[in-house]
Amino acid sequence: MSQACGVDFGTSNSTVGWHQANRPALLTLEQDKLTLPSVVFFNAEDEEVSYGRAALSNYLAGYEGRLMRSMKSLLGTSLMDGQTEVLGKSIAFRDLLGQFIGELKHRAETSAGQQFDYAVLGRPVHFIDDNKNADRIAQNTLEDIALETGFKEVHFQFEPIAAAFDYESRITKEELVLVADIGGGTSDFSLVRLSPERSHVLDRSADILSNGGIHIGGTDFDKYLSLAHIMPLLGLGGKLSNLTDIPSSYYYNLATWHTINQVYTQKVGRELADVYRDIQNPEYRMRFDRLINLVEDKDGHWLAIKAEEAKILLSDKDMVTLQLERLRSKQASTACSLTIEQTGLQSAIGHLSVSIANAVSAVIDDAGIRPDQVDTVFFTGGSSGVRGLRQQIAAIVPNARNVEGDLFGSIGAGLGLDAARRFA
């Protein structure tokens, strides 16, 4: 049996694929689930570590501790060299990533009933936009971490190319395919010529017409939806006594998954108290009091989950009402709720959608083909279901048919195929 697997370490969700005759392409990683949310929770009460859905469940149940999510977003940034406090001890962010990837490897091996010594890891087209040095550092860091978890050899494959391999396993004739992989942290695109006859060729470089991407994904949609509609409930947009704006940095940190914990320091707590005293408007004093209570209760991740929930629901609905029962103020004891309409989502993320569409056009231009020559758009990645975004991409290639892959599993399955070919 092959000792090779494909690892899709995602910003929001992770999968592990392999290629065995008459076996599913993805391995179960949490009970009967094929995905493992890329989440770690350090339970301070029981001094235990949990992962995935169990981590989110423990956090939302109110256990005291530290939740870590969107860890992949640290790769290639200066934060990767830093540390954070977990269960009273300092731990390097690099070690946190290693802990999660090691758990991912362990669960995959348990599910497969065998050891995996070799792996193809997925990577975005750009870890960091317009910075080749940071991109190289990000891949090297991820490679070092993977080797430290026990893999003997690893290779990398662009995530949209891996998704293309998964789609190619199901087609019957040659197609020119635009793979649109819109994940939690990045939106990546590849224009690839696929065919059943070429599927077993190891070197496919001649079939890849162009690659491109942008560091925008589902967590960015969550962030700007939160800033536009949720954070004003906590005082964003209000004024101090000198008519300057209430500092926005607290809200931006709370709306960004990997910086939420930065508002939980004693220094920020003192700053919030000072700002509160400088707000004269009673309405905004009440709203800012909600912010102070949210930070004291360390409910920032809960609020981010609520923003994500609204985004997901608005993929299918025209309107959603969020129950925000943890937003409380001494001046207002009534439960807080918020209604967001589809137009509100589109307004909040419109500038992101335009940037993503521009990235698609650039990939087509780089390939030197006309948009009407594209046969198929293959959508994958959990955030490709956001309403309006898919239509905007499809409008660029008017003659292409739209095909939806496994939004969370196509990349992992394709990486498993690639691993089987490389390490055969």
pLDDT of residue 39: 95
pLDDT of residue 56: 94
The helix/strand/coil state of 120 is strand
CA 226/CA 311 separation, integer angstroms: 10
pLDDT of residue 333: 66
Whether the Cβ atoms of residue 147 and residue 139 lie closer than 8 Å to each other: no
CA 305/CA 150 separation, integer angstroms: 33
pLDDT of residue 221: 97
Whether the Cβ atoms of residue 65 and residue 40 lie closer than 8 Å to each other: no
Q: DSSP string of 233-290?
A: GGTTT-B-TTSPBPPSHHHHHHHSGGGGGGGGSHHHHHHHHHHHHT---HHHHHHHHH
DSSP class of 25: S
CA 30/CA 33 separation, integer angstroms: 5
211-237 confidence digits (pLDDT tens): 999 999 999 999 999 999 999 999 999
CA 309/CA 344 separation, integer angstroms: 15
CA distances from 51 to 13, 37, 62 (A): 11, 8, 16
pLDDT of residue 87: 79
Whether the Cβ atoms of residue 17 and residue 412 lie closer than 8 Å to each other: yes
**Which residues does the chain have with pLDDT short of 50?**
1
Q: Which tokens is 8 given? A: 């899709």
Largest CA distance in the chain: 71
User: Residue 177: beta bridge partners?
Assistant: 192, 376
User: Which H or E element spans position 201?
Assistant: none
User: Can you give the pTM of this predicted structure?
Assistant: 0.89
pLDDT of residue 391: 87
Which of 113, 117, 119, 104 lies closest to 34, judged by CA? 104
pLDDT of residue 350: 94
Domains and CATH numbers, the chain: 4-173+406-422 (3.30.420.40), 219-317 (no CATH)
